[in-house]
Amino acid sequence: MKAFSAQKTWKVLGFALLLIAFDSCRFSQSFDKDLATGLTTRGDGLSCEKVYLSDGENVIKRNTFIYGEIFYVNFDGLEGFERDGQGAFPSMQLVIVSDRGDTVLYVNDMYDQYAWGIDNDPLDLYGEVTVADPIHSGGEYTLYVNVRDKMGTGKFRAVLKFEVLADERITTKGNQVNVEEIYLFSQQRGRTITDGQAEFNENIYMLFEGLDGFSVQEGKVYLGLSLEITDATGNLILDEADLLGEEGMSYEMVQEQLAPNFILSGSQIANPVTCKVRIWDKKGTAWLNASTEINVN
């Protein structure tokens, strides 16, 4: 039988140790892609059981969002953090870049308030994104979510390319008026209404952002705004001829946001309900009509 020398034995063991170290490093790195949304993830020292998009309640399987919508990037089962006692110290950076290369959102750390760490093991973290100014409908964007271990070197990244759409449920017609965004917002729910569903006694706003084209006199515009609501049978529920009166309004405030609102009380109604808003220039000829349908339950 041929014997191995001690020097050769140590070389073999050393090579085996190198292989083990290499495999261990490779195991701590991961890459995954969600084919439905295009969401990609890459881990280096940190791993995650499940990464997905949601609206806070339900999983989202799309990468298009209506202006004003809120969505979340959820990280369930994050592991690999160095711990001080029981606590892990994650950081989460959110960056959104437009297709023109402009950074439209930068949040350095969504978890900087957890100075004493988070005891859960594994961790369930999430990043919240509101699709609103300076993000705009018609644009394409890339979201980067960077999770890091403040106590170690582990990191985990999620990347999502997404598109922002205007609410197709809202139709407009006008003369000489430009508007960047129009959307419905529920005060009670604190979120944009994107599915055309509302509740009785809910305070609903039809928000206009970036209005332009009206006559400006000494920094003011003089506008009229009517609001008409009818049910599916044509029954007139609300008819406000002019909610603004004769006083001038700051042009800058109107351009930032104009927010007529309404509340539908009761318990029964013939759906769908049609909401029509008309804005006109009392010092000129510019006007804008916006209309949408909602189901009230």
Res 29: pLDDT? 79
Other CB atoms within 10 A of residue 192 CB: 22
Dump pLDDT digits (tens) for 28-80.
Answer: 678 899 999 999 999 999 999 999 999 999 999 999 999 999 999 999 999 99
Q: Is the bond into 122 cis (omega within 30 degrees of 0)?
A: yes
Res 28: pLDDT? 60
- β pairing state of 197-198 and 47-54: unpaired
Dump pLDDT digits (tens) for 266-280.
Answer: 888 999 999 999 999
CA gap 243, 266 in Å, rounded: 23
Q: What are the C-alpha distances in Å from 107 to residues 95, 103, 129, 199?
A: 6, 11, 10, 34
Check if the beta carbon of residue 116 is closer than 8 Å to that of residue 167.
Answer: no
Smallest CA-to-CA distance from 143 within 115, 110, 116 is with: 110
Give how far the C-alpha of residue 28 lies from the chain's centroid of Cα atoms, to the nearest Å: 30
HSE-up (13 A, CA, CB side) for residue 180: 19
pTM score of the predicted model: 0.82
Check if the beta carbon of residue 52 is closer than 8 Å to that of residue 77.
Answer: no
HSE-up (13 A, CA, CB side) for residue 208: 23
| Stretches in the chain below the pLDDT threshold 50 | 1-27
Contacts of 139 (CB under 8 A, 6+ apart): 98, 99, 163, 164
CA gap 154, 46 in Å, rounded: 5
Res 30: pLDDT? 81
- β pairing state of 287-296 and 273-281: antiparallel
Type and span of the H or E element at 251: helix 251-256
Res 27: pLDDT? 44
Give how far the C-alpha of residue 19 lies from the chain's centroid of Cα atoms, to the nearest Å: 44
- β pairing state of 287-296 and 155-165: unpaired
